[in-house]
Chain A
Amino acid sequence: MNTEKLELFEVFIRSKRGLDHKHIGSLHAEDHEQALEYARDCYTRRSEGVSIWVVKSNDICSSQEDDAECFYDPSDDKPYRHATYYVLPDPVNNM
């Protein structure tokens, strides 16, 4: 199979109703329909899922490793966003 002419798809599987779809891998396919069928054959042969999403890899816009600093740094000096920052007397510390 010449995969160069085929598009790359990312596959997300919901393993159980109520859970998020989780990224599981990728595959090549001609179109969405075929990607779904391949995904079923590749990733859910043992009923690992109740729902599959396929997304063209090219359509995914992702943050870059190089941007990590300016993306996440602003959270570093904000410990007050965490519950543990607040020291409360023992009898009420379970809130």
Chain B
Amino acid sequence: MTSQEENFMRKIEADEKIEPKDWMPEAYRKNLIRQMSQHAHSEVIGMQPEGNWITRAPSLRRKVVLLSKVQDEAGHGLYLYSATETLGITRAELIAALQSGEAKYASIFNYPTLTWGDVGAIGWLVDGAAIVNQVSLQRTSYGPYSRGMIRICKEESFHQRQGYEALLALANGSPEQKQIAQDSLNRFYWPALMMFGPHDSESAHSAKSMEWKIKRETNDDLRQKFIDQTVPQIEVLGLEHPDKAIKWNEERGHYDSGEIDWDEFYSVINGNGHCNRQRVEHHIAAHDEGTWVRDAITAYNEKKNAKKAQNVA
């Protein structure tokens, strides 16, 4: 080990943060760029399934709530892109990787939002699962990522609560409305579990990420937390648990649960979800439609600078 590597590992072992200008192994940097940009892309792509319902929200109250939640997600994307850029990669490169399919985003956003219940289920389950992951990442070893997570976690609680509240209203409504809530729970529960990634034994990046403290808890441990916290939440809704194998295990102090359909997981990751193509195409279209704005900013800056130069001369 070189002295640089030793110094780096000493910081990691002492639970000190790595900051942008510190020396770091190339693989650490690459690993972070992959994970952080994937996280940023997820925030941004995640706006699409929910944005789909803004104009059709069932009341003005639900509409302003959803609007500000989606607005928050855009902000989260910005925090995370900026933090990723401290690793020496540009925003343009990151976006190009998303649009070419080279970079991934959370597969959950490749599922369609068919009903208003799905919007509730996303806030409650998808943001709920994201929170479990993000709370753990507050302790990640890279300073800018850790600080971004702390800021994001503060904003997330409202996301989960508004989703649960919307679903609770449906669950307490007419039999038809209750059925909508049940149906959304059934469709989003398993994909939410998949958000934590493959089993630890199958996870390609896990070991090194844990050693470098980029990740602080394993996929399976985080998933278990989510499974455990969700059981009483389903009970309060008065809905049926989608996992028929769910059972309290006194010895472990956790719920035992049924196996995830991993074929579905890999199939969606590999591009065969309902909405994969649509999500990226929409991103490209929106980005292209914004070209004139970026061009106008550049032109205005050039004009201003030219004026300044003239005044000086």
Chain A positions within 8 Å of B, measured between CB atoms, are 14, 17-18, 20, 51, 78, 80-83, 85-89, 91-92, 95
How many residues belonging to B are interface residues under a CB distance threshold of 8 Å? 27
Residue contacts A-B, CB under 8 angstroms, 15 given: A17-B16, A17-B19, A17-B143, A18-B17, A78-B64, A80-B61, A80-B65, A81-B72, A86-B158, A86-B162, A88-B165, A91-B236, A92-B233, A92-B236, A95-B157
A interface, over-half SS: loop
Is the pair A80, B16 in contact by a Cβ cutoff of 8 Å? no
Residues of chain A with a CB closer than 8 A to B235's CB: 91
User: A22 to nearest B CB, angstroms?
Assistant: 12
Query: Complex: how many Å from CA A83 to CA B162?
Result: 8
How many residue pairs between the two chains, A and B, have CB atoms under 8 Å in the bound complex? 57
Residues of chain B with a CB closer than 8 A to A95's CB: 128, 157, 160-161, 164, 229, 233
Query: Complex: how many Å from CA A87 to CA B72?
Result: 20
Query: Complex: how many Å from CA A58 to CA B68?
Result: 35
Query: Complex: how many Å from CA A61 to CA B17?
Result: 30
Residues of chain B with a CB closer than 8 A to A81's CB: 68, 72, 158
B30 CB–A CB distance under 8 Å: no
B interface, over-half SS: helix
Is the pair B236, A89 in contact by a Cβ cutoff of 8 Å? yes
* Nearest A-chain residue to B140, judged by Cβ: A18
Q: In residues 20-36 of chain B, which contact A (Cβ within 8 Å)? A: none
User: A91 to nearest B CB, angstroms?
Assistant: 6
Query: Complex: how many Å from CA A38 to CA B29?
Result: 33
Is the pair A78, B68 in contact by a Cβ cutoff of 8 Å? yes
Give per-residue flags for B35-62: 1 if the beta carbon is below 8 A from chain A beta carbons, else 0.
Answer: 0000000000000000000000000010
